[in-house]
Amino acid sequence: MAIQRTLSIIKPDAVAKNVIGDIIRRFEENGLSVIAARMLHLSAEEAGRFYAVHKERPFYKDLCAYMSSGPILAMVLEGQNAVALNRQLMGATNPKEAEAGTIRADHAESIEANSVHGSDSVENAATEVAFFFGDIELHSRR
């Protein structure tokens, strides 16, 4: 398995619930390292650019409004098989379908307020990391 990087976002619902530490603990206990982190409050336009791949989906406008409703924590996670491992730790997009013990099963409120985002492929991870971070902001532990 390769060492990979992936983008993780702790979304407004989880920031508001004060569970940032619990979520990062799960990443670290499962072998992922936080190699970059920044808290920011996106505008709806910025959220729209990040989620441009969903532009045609019926939930796009609500998603942009939601993601700009409060502060988020954007992070880069690094580790063995980081993309798939992060998605496993997050659980299914819809918390009603998320496996017990996953972040979304434990913290998410709805399919929209689902606590975390994680890149879905190595290719998309590179694009999503570059959306938030420049090279000199990434502090690899390798």
Rule CB under 6 A: which residues touch ligand CMP? Answer: 54, 59, 63, 93, 111-112, 114, 117
Q: How far is the CB of 136 from ligand CMP (least distance, A)?
A: 26
Residue 34 or 120 having the CB closest to ligand CMP: 120
Return d(Cα 1, Cα 69) in angstroms, integer: 37
Residue 123 or 139 having the CB closest to ligand CMP: 123
Q: How far is the CB of 31 from ligand CMP (least distance, A)?
A: 21
CA angle 51, 131, 59 (to 5 degrees): 10
- 117 included as an active-site residue: yes
- Name the residue among 91, 88, 75 with its Cα closest to residue 125: 75
Return d(Cα 129, Cα 127) in angstroms, integer: 6
> Which residues are known catalytic residues?
117
